Amino acid sequence: MKSAALLTMILSLASISLPASADMTAGEKAAQSCLMCHGENGLSKMPGTPSLAGQPEIYLASQLKQFRDGKRHNEVMNVIAKPLTDADIDNISAWFAQFEVELKKK
């Protein structure tokens, strides 16, 4: 029973596609259009708009693909993500994921 559960877990993890090596220069260039809402280097100061800096690359890529493919709905993001290729998404995701965010008490 335990081995069947382990095998199922391994097979499901194997189906997750991790981004290929990203082009950070292309990611930075493509991410410039994100900064108006998501803030400088992805640190949002706009209410209701999440910070992207430091988010896991696989999470960012997944969210962008869902916006692009119409599986996640946001009037602005669906339009912005629609023309993005998988390579664009991988590059943008890698660029935002490279930042380390440090939390400090006020």
Q: What is the sign of the dihedral through the CA atoms of 40, 45, 46 and 48?
A: positive
Which whole number is the average pLDDT over 84-106? 96
- Domain of 74? 24-97
Confidence at residue 20, expressed as pLDDT on a 0 to 100 scale: 58
Q: What is the number of domains present in the chain?
A: 1
Residue 97 has pLDDT above 60, yes or no: yes
79 falls within a domain: yes
> Which CATH number do you get for residue 78?
1.10.760.10
105 falls within a domain: no
- What confidence tens digit (pLDDT) does each residue in 21-70 have? 899 999 999 999 999 999 999 999 999 999 999 999 999 999 999 999 99
34 falls within a domain: yes
Distance CA 97, CA 87 (A): 15
93 falls within a domain: yes
